[in-house]
Structure 1
């Protein structure tokens, strides 16, 4: 049996992943810890095969930007060094697409990370320090997911879902965005654990998501009627230059598919199996969250 420790006791990803993994309870045992006080430093890490580090400060208002670096960089490295010292075999660090500092465009293997906010900068600095700890006996996996959505998730998806349930009109746009359904992410994490993977990873759904199609699918699941207005692209482009948040809704931002694995990448076709939940099914499961098991 593999024993896994998850930092970030009340995180959406952590708690949802443990629940999803209950069908494998004979193969895995999970523990979670909160890093908000110093008691974790007395925890015995030597009993764990892997640590999944989810504890982080995301986009919140703080008195000082230094808190981002204290939590996202310094704390992550301290946990990893303790894990290394106590012979944990693998450390999985959740980073972010924000390390690239891009609002639009396509991220390829040649795209150089250039974060432009404290969240992205602190995560990138943590990545660099953590990868220095990598060895044959201590595998470091850095995961840079795009927007994650799923039942009970918070964030931009939920804002769009609320809008789709209220609005009668929505612009028809032709953008593409990388997104990641929670179950696809969980399959990916399991693959990382099973194979003790190391390196930098960019998991995403098998297909890019178009914002108009996303809103349309949400409306269908909630039996709402929305009229999609054509000819809005030019206006949206103009407004996006002034209101940057519009890029997160209507702009195109993708990972090149080669970053997320091909049948002959890493360890064969198994790598591609994680994204097996298709878009329409993922929206149905997300919108019908009260029935989700």
Structure 2
């Protein structure tokens, strides 16, 4: 059995992973958690652990309206804290460090109507300080890798599931109240929380090293997700192309409106080839994941 230390208490991913392991891998993985807020974690001995899983961080920034002080805080937590934690894990003799990076390091979604496909050769190009804070940490922890210290970096797309934060619950809220939604086509990579937890379990049990791009087996389409959420929720919603002119109009408007449309209806997907490994982790289909999230 491997002992795993989650650095970062009460996070959505950390708590979900701990619960998933208890249900599916209690004989292979033993989980502990340490709070990173007050700094007392620096006094904790990491040496009894085989794996340190770092989930502490700041996310979902309003990147268009923040002070320099706030930006510094993002770098302090997302970058400096991650690297310092990895350095301590290495110094204390931990064998594997698992870090949650993000697709945000590749910049914003492509505008509606244009495709953006990420491949293994795509060079990260963060569009703002939040993305850059994750990218600097991504690079920093990988520099610490050695024959005795395995570094595992995940760059997942949007993670969703019951109780998740971010863009998915906002879309779900709209799907339950809107009478009509535009008949738009886009392509996005997403990752359901249980698929992520299965992936994490496998890379820890196997001691995998390197950079990974886990995603659902199927690409997502915003209108289809809206349709599925509405159906599961017992809400009638009409998908109609008659509203598409509003999308075109919004794309010509400056400021937040245009950004919101591109964020919701833009395109950003991972090449499926880069998300296939020698183990199966896509244990829940897209349709089933929405039922579980909304159920």
TM-score by length of 1: 0.92
Contact 2:188 2:220 in 1 (8 A): yes
Change in CA separation of 1:236 and 1:201 when aligned onto 2, cut-off 3 Å: same
| Residue from 254, 276, 291 that aligns with 2:283 | 276
* Bigger shift: residues 223-232 or 34-43: 223-232
Q: Highest relative contact order (Cα 8 Å, sep 6+), 1 or 2?
A: 2
Contact 1:206 1:276 in 2 (8 A): no
Say whether residues 1:168 and 2:179 are aligned partners.
yes
Question: Where does residue 146 of structure 1 map in the other structure?
Answer: 157
Once the two structures are TM-superposed, the CA of residue 55 in structure 1 deviates from its matched residue by 0.3
Matches within 5 A, 1:123-272: 123-233=134-244, 235-240=246-251, 242=254, 243-261=258-276, 265=277, 268=278, 270=279
RMSD between aligned residues: 1.4
- Unaligned 5+ residue runs, structure 1? 289-293
Question: Where does residue 73 of structure 1 map in the other structure?
Answer: 79
Contact 1:219 1:226 in 2 (8 A): yes
Once the two structures are TM-superposed, the CA of residue 25 in structure 1 deviates from its matched residue by 2.1
Question: Where does residue 4 of structure 1 map in the other structure?
Answer: 4
| Residue from 103, 115, 121 that aligns with 2:109 | 103
SS in 2 for 1:142: strand
* Bigger shift: residues 69-78 or 241-250: 241-250
- Unaligned 5+ residue runs, structure 2? 111-115
TM-score by length of 2: 0.91
Once the two structures are TM-superposed, the CA of residue 102 in structure 1 deviates from its matched residue by 3.0
Question: Where does residue 22 of structure 1 map in the other structure?
Answer: 22
Change in CA separation of 1:120 and 1:25 when aligned onto 2, cut-off 3 Å: same
Q: In structure 1, what is the Cα distance between the partners aligned to 2:88 and 2:7?
A: 13
| Cα deviation code 1:185-242 (max 9, x no counterpart) | 1110011101111111111000100101000000111111101111544542452353
Question: Where does residue 87 of structure 1 map in the other structure?
Answer: 93
Once the two structures are TM-superposed, the CA of residue 176 in structure 1 deviates from its matched residue by 0.8
Q: In structure 2, what is the Cα distance between the partners aligned to 1:194 and 1:159?
A: 35
Say whether residues 1:57 and 2:72 are aligned partners.
no
